[in-house]
Amino acid sequence: MNIADKTKHEEKLIASLINLPTRDRNKIIRNQPLTMQEKRKIKKKVNMEKQKSANQSIQLNYCTQCLTHYRHFKSVTSEFFQSLDVWQRTLKIIGSKFGTSVLSYFSFLTWLLKFNIFSFIVNFSFIIIPQLTDPKPNNLSFTGLELLTGAGSFQQTVLYYGFYTNSTIKHKGSNTSYNMQLAYIFTIGLYLVICFFSLLYSMACSFRNNFINPHVYSRGTAKLVFSWDFTITREKAVKLKQRNLTTELKENLSEIRHENVITPLKQRLSRFCIHLAAWIVSTGVAIACCAAVYFLAFNNMKFLREHKNQAATLLLPFLVCCFNLFVPLFYSSFGLVEKFEIPRHQVLVIIIRNIFLKISIIGILCYYWLNSIAVSHEECWETLIGQDIYRLLMMNFLFTLFDSIFGEFLRRIIGTKLIKSLGVPEFDIARNVLELIYTQTLLWIGIFFAPLLPFIHMITLFIMLNVKRISLMMNCLPPSKVWRASQMMTLFIFLLFFPSFTGVLCVLAITVWRLKPSAQCGPFQGLPSIIHAIYGWIEILSNRPSYLWVVWIYRNLIGSVHFFFILTLIVVIITYLYWQIIEGRKIMIKLLHEQIINEGKDKMFLVEKLLKLQESQKKTNTFPLAQERREQEVSLKWSKDGHLFILDKREWSEGTKVNLEDM
């Protein structure tokens, strides 16, 4: 097709799309055999032509204009964030080689990285930058050990709570002021509210895509067979797409095969006993680890008073990270005995055991921070808690790097050179996912005591993403049992929401409402509790008539128990509706499946009848030719007027009239 024909075809397409609804128009453009750049160009031209025709005709009403602008803004925003997704190609390569099970971990990691970038932007804009305009002198020298301990010269920086002022920041030469107390508590509170709704929205979208949509139950057959993207022309992209489709086919076929396997009763009983013993052992180990952490935590302050050096502060984080590293490895070894048929079940069991261990350890540490450090009458107990959380994050990061660089590498060397029966290791999805949830939980707790923690965690996640990717490609093999993990992302976000985020809200609520702030440091020094900063602000606004609406919102919504009760009730109702929708879809798919089976049986019955009829006709054709001629014999009778009649043995029928003269 030359340029002129292509231009005419494009003009005809644009003319036909102008009067169509937005949904139909986007669908037609999406189905065109063009590149994404050409599709966007056509879409832009259609929008421009439609805008011209709209300006010439009657002006649209206000609601329609708002809806149009919203859709345009949504489209532009979506394209902008897609252009920023620099890990898209990396994720495609991982998914094509290792399947969706390993891909779910890296998707979750990149999602958390974007989440922490947003956290850093919020804190840096409203807390850190205003404080940097009113700096304080730092008299401590940098030794290098601060990178691990978070103490020393880091203590007098914007990293920790104690560095921030409790006064109103005023700039010279202007009448503007910045209340640091309100900025600190409102920024943290607003960030937690955004996190709450973001987690709910992400969980709902993932739940809808992976549980509710009908294509989930069709096992992706239509996508695998009929959805080749013909705009792909590069050889590398074609091979990558082929490997993706091949991996998806393997996953779907593997899941169908596992569903059709029926194990005998004796084997099921033996497996139940093995699983029960594994659960008893894992629970006992978790309780022993929690008891050890409790003992170490409550003797830690006494140990630190006896040893004044910074390295002594690393003892508790080191032991906690040892538990978090080696106990999950011990849990993973249970798979050699339990031998799950479906890999998803093994991952779920390991995740439940690990989440019980890690959340229990975090709970004990929070109890230690709120009931020992916070009431110890230290000079700035908020900074001490921030330093503990910093040390835990940094030590966990080092342990993770050690496990990825040396652990998986040595495991591959041993499996390929020394003990070849072990083979090359597989990527442990459950253990790595729980590490991400564990560190994100610590970050959410520490964001109040160390506002700069999201920046540090953002850097560690970026390094971890690249290290894990390289280690996966060099040291690990694709899963020996291929399985589909499209629904694992929903589980990961749910675990991040509960018990992780809900537990964080409880800890911060106790900190804000129950604990007394330090008297000599931080933005809330001198107050009975942190929440009294808002109480005082509301009292000031209640004396100003122009701000009474803010007072009404606080007293009737934010400060009302009934509002949060109604909000919780709405969330529960929405969750129940989603659950009923998925149950209804399952019943619908089951009925349709039965209907397809019945229609197949009907077709088989008709095919059998046709085969029997064909066999009977073949038998009649085996008689001698003479007999066949006799059966098909036709009697002729001439009429007096010269007409010819054809007389069959079954019936008389008037044939073609033939004139005797013509014959």
Residue predicted with more confidence, 654 or 387 = 387
pLDDT digits (tens, 9 = 90+) for 528-573: 999 999 888 888 888 888 888 888 888 888 777 788 788 888 878 8
- The mean pLDDT of the chain is 78
Q: Give the pair of three-digit tokens for residue 428.
A: 């442990």
The tally of CA atoms less than 13 A away on the side-chain side of residue 482 is: 16
* Total-model pTM: 0.73
* Residue in this structure with the two tokens 């005998």, named with its chain if needed: 264
Residue predicted with more confidence, 438 or 94 = 438
What is the enclosing helix (H) or strand (E) of 148? helix 146-149
* Residue in this structure with the two tokens 């054809």, named with its chain if needed: 646
Q: How much of the chain exceeds pLDDT 70, in percent?
A: 76
Give the pLDDT band (50/70/90) at residue 387: very high
The pLDDT assigned to 214 comes to 47
CA dihedral of 465, 435, 426, 274, whole degrees rounded to 10: -170
User: Prior bond to 528 cis, omega within 30?
Assistant: no
List the one residue out of 223, 293, 214, 271 whose CA is nearest residue 251.
223
From 41-55, 291-305, 376-390, 434-448, the region with the lowest mean pLDDT: 41-55
The pLDDT assigned to 38 comes to 79
The pLDDT assigned to 636 comes to 43
Query: Where are the domains positioned within the chain?
Result: 1-55, 80-528
pLDDT higher than 80, residue 52? no
Distance CA 228, CA 329 (A): 41
Burial class (CB within 10 angstroms; exposed 0-12, middle 13-18, buried 19+) of 630: exposed
The pLDDT assigned to 657 comes to 42
The pLDDT assigned to 313 comes to 86
The pLDDT assigned to 165 comes to 87
Output the furthest CA–CA distance in the chain (Å, rounded).
Answer: 140
Alpha carbon of 178 to those of 166, 171, 183, 188, 526: distances in Å?
Answer: 11, 9, 8, 16, 19
The pLDDT assigned to 424 comes to 77
pLDDT digits (tens, 9 = 90+) for 53-79: 655 544 445 556 666 666 666 666 665
Burial class (CB within 10 angstroms; exposed 0-12, middle 13-18, buried 19+) of 468: buried
The number of angstroms, rounded, from the C-alpha of 548 to the middle of its chain's C-alpha atoms is: 42
Alpha carbon of 538 to those of 178, 372, 385, 422, 552: distances in Å?
Answer: 17, 32, 29, 66, 10
From 388-402, 415-429, 490-504, 569-583, the region with the lowest mean pLDDT: 415-429
pLDDT higher than 50, residue 652? no
- What average pLDDT does range 644-659 have in this prediction? 42
